[in-house]
Chain A
């Protein structure tokens, strides 16, 4: 993870979690928080290979 930060990838753009197959509530919560976190960081422009190519 530190390596990713070092490369300039904002923490939060890359998320990890552990959810068992019975934890649907946790799954939904995690989707929400991951989406929120990525929204907060904003669009990925740094790493996109060809920012012009937006359909």
Chain B
């Protein structure tokens, strides 16, 4: 350690350090233009000149490259130093009069104009560029020439391939003399292109060291070895100089890790189709033809334009945007993708609506499509709203070519309108709704694993084992299983987990380690002894906020016994240190001023539990995300804000009390309501994973609607498979089937439900830890199209019945008509029943098999054979099934004339009415949910206006309810085909097992609590709580009869009841009134 004086203050530095380094560490500012932390100092710009007194005399030295020595005295801002710097700035300003950084320096030193003769240069010859180039391991440029001719250049002033166009010189150049453009033109012969950000679809660049995107897990930077200079030259490694914890190791090698596993789940996903091969759309040529993925980034608040809708050619706001559907989907000619990608219709509508929201309603959005496929839950409603409320135009037409409009960046298209006219229209921007495809890498992986693929290169599965690949033990989920959207992928993934869990159930808990439990110190009644730990977060916080002064300030606050600052509070060693300090100083409340509690609170809570403190005796002050990161140009205010936030946290933590988390036993059994395919699948999966399961079915037998179905879209025999499943369930000793039974009473909550089943007048009480609702749906009974009046008019299920009975009359039919959307997509039932298009087309094909000469017509509104079901649609057209589209306002008419049954419909191509004589009409009757209000009430779960249950989260929680311990599957969620019902049945079981496997759960400590003495029994809390946590204590109870009580197990701690309690009888532990008042007071103190 060397001790010396800096501006009269005694400071210390390490042997070999320079004055500037030590000064910077002590927060003493010395101006410099040519210094870089990772480079050897050169003393080129002379700005860092300081006055050095060596005991006898004073002299001037450049602080960046003058090593410190014992006893020296340095003045950084004396009058002579100031005057000297002023002259240097003035001279530099004369050399480079137009450089902003010098102008700024001039302003700082009070120089408005230079007295010297002005030159035109922009280079100050600081040599940063040449030094960094050497550091990069290249030495492509150097200072050439001598005296006044000196300049930065390549040898002999020729372009060189030594320069790798890494851009390091431009990045360090203080004056802007070196630009990337100059490097490209004068220096390098290498191709010059920015590194495209994969996340931003190449619309933005990224660095070789980068975090893929803000929410990446783990949120740790990675080094892209393919572009990092170090891996090309062995030089650079500048990043290691800046990393405060020496986390970067360039010598790390890829490792091959061998794992012993019992099962493999494949979820490799898809890649968006690349439309550049379609010349007619000119995606590669026209900047304003973009893919939908690019549009997603442009609309995203975190995207390259911060959510500001602009087109790429001129960054102007577009006034007219068109979306082209089915680019790379439903297209055999140009890209060999015959399947439908399932998601594009919905995302295009979503993008159009968001674009309108961002840009105002005068933005014109047009979607060009073939069939609008909004078959997901609530999607049809969204489609209708986009059309009727937002004015998105939907044009049924496939556009062939995009032409640029000469002299502009606009685009012109020609299309045939629905009425058959040729229309030319111009757009500012065209979005290609690209489909999904499986990447060659994934296809290669499938080959290596020896699993079979479908014609579309998706993973081959069967309807009854929809997440099992062709190889036992290997499961699949997500878009690799078939094109699908987020909810369906989430359902899939839970199902795959259940499938793996079923075969590995005997191994469950064999590799878990028990955690050592540290006994909790009782702090109740103790005076608060608060410890405050202020985190530097490397330079993330300390670079802006004066961390030591915040820690010093914290030490002065009431009850604070200890305050210090750490480099990284979350690092392993600091955590251990924290535990030691808590023990040593006997602290009983902890404040960590660092990043956000949303990511780090659990970590610190665990640490203080290791020190024997209750985890609720803790508070965080968010001085990074809410302070240093957002006020980097205002360090003074940021430091003040940090102090305010710390004070607020200290005042709050002083009032915290240890909170108890109730431990709750989870009864290892389940109740499944509904004995259809979904319910039975859930039950079988639960049983295979070792949990006793009860199935309640109100009808006399198991099977549900599947009993009425003939065959799957893949041609499998449903009855045979269904009977197999029923046998499995019946023979399973772990599954108890209650037929002809209904729920008559329900009590309890997650972990300990108590349900009374009533069967044949007899009550049985079942105790269970979780419940799965699989109550299914039933077919709509049509009143239209002469159904019930003419025996030749059937529903699809009735036709299936005839197929199953091998009705010989079917093969004698001359003509058959299918009418789609009977009761679906109508004002009364504004949803798509999802399965009917595929079902009708498959039945049409089945009829064709019986009699290839039969005339078959399908009257439809949009054909929705999503995913690889599209192949059936194609096959049907090839086999001569005729598809005639009708619209809601011109529905077909069925006419009975004596013995002849005929149908009248307006042909959409010819525009003329047609009359078809037919022997059979099959109605695609809607799927209607069993609107079971009683059940919804029992389990306190919501239903939407259509009567389907409302899941916890439409995208991320599709198989569970907001009510803990209650799960959902099958058609009670939404109409779905068998494979999707099975997947969701498994998914619901999987979600349930995540709870059952824990055996016990801890409720949160931050829950609401009633003070009975203040309660006026008004019932506001009971009615307002979204989680049904409050209830009245029974009138006959011994204590507090009639008052409200809150079940801590159900309470989510939102505080709604607290705010609405008119008697002030409810408090929210951890966010109590006095705590929030203390925070308010703290924030307003010392203003």
B301 and A55 within 8 A (CB): no
B1087 and A25 within 8 A (CB): no
B302 and A55 within 8 A (CB): no
Option from B301, B306, B1086 in Cβ contact (under 8 Å) with A22: B301
The minimal Cβ–Cβ distance linking B942 to chain A, given in whole angstroms, is 21
B1086 and A23 within 8 A (CB): no
A24 and B1086 within 8 A (CB): no
B167 surroundings in chain A (CB, below 8 A): none
A26 within 8 A of B: yes
Q: Please, how many angstroms separate the alpha-carbon atoms of A28 and B307 in the complex?
A: 13
A40 within 8 A of B: no
A23 and B1087 within 8 A (CB): no
A16-31 vs B, Cβ < 8 Å mask (1 yes, 0 no) = 0000001111101000
Option from B306, B307, B630, B1086 in Cβ contact (under 8 Å) with A55: B1086
A55 surroundings in chain B (CB, below 8 A): 1085-1087
By CB atoms of chain A within 10 A, which of B301, B306, B1086, B1087 has the most?
A: B301
Report the count of interface residues on B (CB-CB < 8 A).
8
A3 within 8 A of B: no
B301 and A24 within 8 A (CB): yes
Write the chain B residue with the least CB distance to A28: B630
Q: Please, how many angstroms separate the alpha-carbon atoms of A54 and B1084 in the complex?
A: 10
Option from B301, B1085, B1086, B1087 in Cβ contact (under 8 Å) with A26: B301
Write the chain A residue with the least CB distance to B307: A25
The minimal Cβ–Cβ distance linking A10 to chain B, given in whole angstroms, is 18
B307 surroundings in chain A (CB, below 8 A): 25
B1086 and A25 within 8 A (CB): no
Q: Please, how many angstroms separate the alpha-carbon atoms of A54 and B1086 in the complex?
A: 7
A54 surroundings in chain B (CB, below 8 A): 1087
Write the chain B residue with the least CB distance to A21: B598
B1087 and A22 within 8 A (CB): no
Q: Please, how many angstroms separate the alpha-carbon atoms of A24 and B301 in the complex?
A: 7
B1085 surroundings in chain A (CB, below 8 A): 55
Q: Please, how many angstroms separate the alpha-carbon atoms of A22 and B307 in the complex?
A: 11
B630 surroundings in chain A (CB, below 8 A): 28
List CB contacts (< 8 Å) of B623-638 with chain A.
630
The minimal Cβ–Cβ distance linking A23 to chain B, given in whole angstroms, is 5
List CB contacts (< 8 Å) of B1056-1086 with chain A.
1085-1086
Q: Please, how many angstroms separate the alpha-carbon atoms of A22 and B630 in the complex?
A: 16
B328-350 vs A, Cβ < 8 Å mask (1 yes, 0 no) = 00000000000000000000000
List CB contacts (< 8 Å) of B280-333 with chain A.
301-302, 306-307
The minimal Cβ–Cβ distance linking B632 to chain A, given in whole angstroms, is 14
Write the chain A residue with the least CB distance to B1086: A55
Q: Please, how many angstroms separate the alpha-carbon atoms of A55 and B644 in the complex?
A: 14
Write the chain A residue with the least CB distance to B308: A25
The minimal Cβ–Cβ distance linking A51 to chain B, given in whole angstroms, is 12
The minimal Cβ–Cβ distance linking A34 to chain B, given in whole angstroms, is 14
The minimal Cβ–Cβ distance linking A49 to chain B, given in whole angstroms, is 10
A24 and B1087 within 8 A (CB): no
B1087 surroundings in chain A (CB, below 8 A): 54-55
**Interface of B toward A, CB cutoff 8 Å:** 301-302, 306-307, 630, 1085-1087
Can you list 15 residue pairs at the A/B interface with Cβ under 8 Å?
A22-B301, A22-B302, A23-B301, A24-B301, A24-B302, A25-B301, A25-B302, A25-B306, A25-B307, A26-B301, A28-B630, A54-B1087, A55-B1085, A55-B1086, A55-B1087
Known A22-B301, A25-B302, A25-B307; further 9 A-B contacts with Cβ < 8 A: A22-B302, A23-B301, A24-B301, A24-B302, A25-B306, A26-B301, A54-B1087, A55-B1086, A55-B1087
